[in-house]
Amino acid sequence: MAVPVAFFAVFFAYPVAAIVARGLKADGAWRLGRIGEVLAQSDVRHVLWFTGWQALASTALTLLVALPGAYVFARFDFPGKQLLRAVVTVPFVLPTVVVGTAFLALVGRGGLLDELWGVRLDTTVWAILLAHVFFNYAVVVRTVGGLWAQLDPRQEEAARMLGASRLRAWRQVTLPALAPAVAAAALMVFLFTFTSFGVVQILGGPTFSTLEVEIYRQTSQLFDLSTAAVLTMVQFAAVAAILAVHAWTVRRRETALRLVDAATTARRPRGAGQWLLLAGVLGTVLVLLVLPLAVLVQRSLGAPGFGYYRALTEEDGGAFLVPPIEAIGNSLQYAVAATAVAVVIGALAATALTRRDAGRFVRGFDALLMLPLGVSAVTVGFGFLIALDEPPLDLRSSWILVPLAQALVGVPFVVRTMLPVLRAVDGRLREAAAVLGASPWRVWREVDLPMVRRALLVAAGFAFAVSLGEFGATVFIARPDNPTLPVAVARLLGRPGDMNYGQAMALSTILMLVCAVALVVLERLRTDRSGEF
């Protein structure tokens, strides 16, 4: 626990505390009365109400749409499965500003729905909810499907032989086993939608605003750090309470499960019902996920002769000090470094949390690990600039600052992906190895690692994908001569002109393709059948 605790204390707690203190202090004195003043404002209360209910609605809708997909990817084997899994994951790594722009092209004025049927959704909350489902579909499919694929199907088949219906067998046998993974996926979706920024900023307009959008507005546009600090504290307290409840309920449900090699549980669909389910999931992926991505590609090809792509290789002397195309290499380097940090920190924390004799402090750290997903990325970015500017932690000019910020978001994915599988490993296997003389390291290497290898690769893929698409904190700390892809896209979208907009779509398409290639490679590693559980 020493390394994860030190990492979060130095690179999360310290920067957040620094920015909050800067906002609530004046002339060396605390302005605690400012908290009541901010919360008494009617527009702030409206932001709080909208933030909460849209996050709940987005989470419920995402689970409803994505759980059938999790089942299909876990239990069915069909041509193109690996490629389709990569396609499903790509939307999750796209910058939220790009997601919002793509949906605006679909449901806004002059969009696809407007042209075909005269329907516009950009002035309603449905555009925000659908964009959130688009963005978080992969979270449910990956998190729930990863554990579902390793559950022994013979347990449900035994219940069917004893007279249970298919629904009852699923409800009483499979669902309790999946509960920790479903809860983890729901938690991550809720946190992402609770702190939604780019999607709400573009599709919400002046009508809808979340806490994250309001914090950004107060910080960057109004320069009111005291109001931003109060809203950050409110968001922090709400997320901490949610995580505390989650840690208590999930820990009560997690038990040892019988896990098998995921490669042995998938089979071709049988019967009209299963083929219909597969067709329904494929249709959902096509309409909800592929169509917005197709809009990005179509708009990136709007200029003749790949004009938008050729413009990326040129210096314009405006938003960039280097050609925008260099953002690709920067993003890949940062993402690899961030993934390495996230996997090491997350794996250490997940291993410590599985100890049966873990103390109350260790169990409480389970919830604290998720806080970076619920704290404003704007706050974290500004906190890095304020807190890490003096020796021995003067990192403002160091390249490692960006991967550290990205790793903060990646660690929770590593922990939440590995934890259900680690806790499902029968503790008697570890005890038997220890009795036979194995050291703790050897027990982990020969008992735990073969069981969690698949989950570890999934976790690394999530961390890599999140690092590629991280925008909120990176936009404040990425140097002008080393922009990342999301930062470059945001800068181009913020400048007027068709050429800038087209270059933003071209960079978004490149980011999408880079992620797809990386995820296809990951899928080939994940489905390697050389090791047996």
What pLDDT was estimated at residue 50? 92
What's the pLDDT tens digit per position in 331-349? 889 999 999 999 999 988 8
What pLDDT was estimated at residue 430? 76
What's the pLDDT tens digit per position in 43-62? 888 889 999 999 999 999 99
Q: 120 exposed, middle or buried (CB, 10 Å; 0-12, 13-18, 19+)?
A: middle
- Distance, in Å, from the CA atom of 339 to the CA atom of 519, rounded to the nearest integer, reads 14
What pLDDT was estimated at residue 167? 76
What's the pLDDT tens digit per position in 97-128? 778 777 877 777 666 677 777 666 666 788 89
What pLDDT was estimated at residue 201? 79
What pLDDT was estimated at residue 249? 61
What pLDDT was estimated at residue 162? 82
CB of 326 closer than 8 Å to CB of 333: no
- Distance, in Å, from the CA atom of 472 to the CA atom of 268, rounded to the nearest integer, reads 42
Segments in the chain below pLDDT 70: 26-29, 109-112, 118-123, 205-206, 246-266, 316-321, 356-364, 367, 374, 518-533
Angle between helices 449-469 and 327-353 (to 10 degrees): 140
What pLDDT was estimated at residue 452? 78
Structure-token match 């008992």, residue found: 447
Which pair of structure tokens corresponds to residue 244? 């505390």
Q: What is the DSSP letter of 208?
A: -
A 10 A CB-CB count for 456 gives: 21
- Distance, in Å, from the CA atom of 415 to the CA atom of 37, rounded to the nearest integer, reads 38
- Distance, in Å, from the CA atom of 288 to the CA atom of 422, rounded to the nearest integer, reads 33
Q: 496 exposed, middle or buried (CB, 10 Å; 0-12, 13-18, 19+)?
A: exposed
Could you please report the per-residue DSSP string of 251-269? HHH-----B--GGGT-B--
Which pair of structure tokens corresponds to residue 465? 């994908």
